[in-house]
Amino acid sequence: MTFVLALIGAKALWLMYIWLASTIGASWLSGRKGYGERAGLATGLLLTFVGFIIWLLVPARADSEWKRHGVFGRKGAGPSTLEEPPPGERPPGHI
């Protein structure tokens, strides 16, 4: 009986993608909620998909981006990069 490693490899690849995606999501959530990205990274790496769900349930700190700008942030909150700033407000080093 032959053992096909390619089938195990494909499943392992998809499981690794899920593991990495949940780690990225947990890191992003913890950073937005004001706890720092390392806490989410560690939780996501150790607990896989459960770590992402945990960070969905953890309350945000009062001074976090989650509280100030909302869940996904504000769209178009800053000045457009195509607009020229007024002459007195040019950053140093720009002509």
More confident site: 53 or 83: 53
What pLDDT score was predicted for residue 67?
87
* 73 vs 77: CA distance, rounded Å: 9
Yes or no: say if 55 and 40 are a contact pair by the CB < 8 Å rule: yes
What pLDDT score was predicted for residue 41?
93
Q: 55-77 pLDDT, tens per residue?
A: 999 999 988 888 888 777 776 55
Phi/psi of residue 7, nearest 5 degrees: -70, -40
26's CB contacts (< 8 A; 6+ apart) are 40, 41, 43, 44, 51, 52, 54, 55
Q: 3-53 pLDDT, tens per residue?
A: 666 667 888 889 999 999 999 999 999 999 999 999 999 999 999 889 999
More confident site: 93 or 51: 51
* 93 vs 78: CA distance, rounded Å: 21
Full-prediction pTM beyond 0.75? no
The domain spans of the chain are 1-59
> How far is residue 91 from each of residues 61, 62, 77, measured CA to CA in Å?
32, 31, 19
